[in-house]
Structure 1
Amino acid sequence: MRAATVQLQSTNDRDRNLAAADRLTRAAAADGAELVVLPERLDLRGTAEDYAAGADTLDGRPVAWAKETARELRIDLVAGSIAERREGHERVANTSVHVGPDGDVKTVYRKIHMFDVEVGGVEYRESEHSEPADEIVLSETAGGVGLGLTICYDLRFPELYRILALRGARIVTVPANFTRVTGEAHWEVLLRARAIENQVFVVAPGQGRGPGAEGDSYGNSMIVDPWGEVLARAGGEGESFVAADLDLARQDEIRKKLPSLSNRVAGAYRWPEEARV
């Protein structure tokens, strides 16, 4: 199957962001992509005030666009993440939505790990405007391929990816908005590590940097295969898509010849004193 990442330069202008997403999603589908994944915060990037004012429900415009587009183009579409407003919640959710070729929502994943850090002399507090979730989800493409959904900072928590792989994920999506500082140091390394450890394809679109973009993002959207090979890569700046063919037969061969998932010794992964209890 063919997959594509769409790299955007999202701002606090939702109309502009969705227009760019639509244009590039259509271009990726015209290139043969059956699975198209968009970046984190595809619909809206900005301040806590921007999210509070602009977040929408799952019945709102961003998801309606994703459903209509997936149905028209007959693709699996992962609407990277959107700012989701929920009744009874003061903060928004950072939410990834998988829509199938029939236009129906297959799975909704809300980001678990909040980006509360200080890097490059800049402090980030995602939890000030976004509420963390606590549920791992696994979806499936129209062709029956296991699809794990994650978002950005989740990438640093390998337990999440191992659980998804053990539950049947063959592809994991990582819509992201890495900073330039963390991206230059860790983005490719982490993507390849998660792919190799779990023998999965990793499809990881990012936010590009450039004039008008919100923040100093890293871009460099990538698709990585289960051997850790980078199959496709965008640049750091601008809006674009990149695509690659995901060879599931090669994945099967890798898992057969180097069966690290089945060679796990789960009962040994504990401290000795715990084993004696």
Structure 2
Amino acid sequence: MIRRRDSLKKPTKAIICAAGLGTRFLPQTKAMPKEMLPIIDRPVIQLIVEEAVAAGVTEIIMVTGSTKRAIEDHFDRSDELEAELREKGKDDKADEIKAVAELANFVYVRQKGTPKGNARPVLNAQHLIDDDEPFFVFFADDFFRSEVPRAKQLLDAYEATGKSVISLIEVDKADADKYGMAAIKDEAAGGAYQVTELIEKPGADNTPSNLASVGGYLLTPDILPIIADEKPDKNGEITLADSINELAQQDAVYGRIIDGIWHDTGNQLKYIKAVVDLALERDDFGPELAEYLRERLK
């Protein structure tokens, strides 16, 4: 039964999974976390924090690893740097770095335990989530370029349905061997579809739809005991997809087709595409970059 919209508890916490080693970007990521790779002048992880804050999140729970100190430093105040910038008359820059530290309350949790998998960070952070509290989960290397932040779109669907909501994108069925594909049925309010199952990389002939599941979830706490009891998959990992499938057997789960362009910065080519796409949208140097690319491609 769908709960009344006015009785829903607002999500104010987001778990960001940021413990990956980033081996595809070595040797760069030997000293710098992959989540800190810059998209022009902001690290990837800041883009994700900003979209969560835009949806009303006030507490960011970072689940990190032993090499991620730079993330903590980035979201911390730097009084010395701020003072130096102000002495040089760069008040705008000082205000900008101060604002980053004040985006939310940041909590850091070290990822630990086995089996591993993308559900492990949720287990590590579950003690920070109340029993009746919905929460966001994001991966630290993918984001959407959109007018309305992905997190806000998920929130709209959650408020319309009262249930867990996952992010979906439309893909060519020929690419169904690259994604977890969603089997859907009824359309609900808030632009959401009920998801009955996620099928991992089924291929074009076996996919139930052209809708792929990508990073970004607004989950109800009903999923926490499911994750805690999850059995490892064939790769020896516990995954959010498996837990979502089990939740879908017990209660409705919805998928929201996110209006925007999805960027995955998990490998070099996709990262470069994300940088170029966002750079081309900049008013200060986008047109000049576009002209340069046209000349270069001649």
Larger radius of gyration: 2
User: Which TM-score applies when normalising by structure 2?
Assistant: 0.28
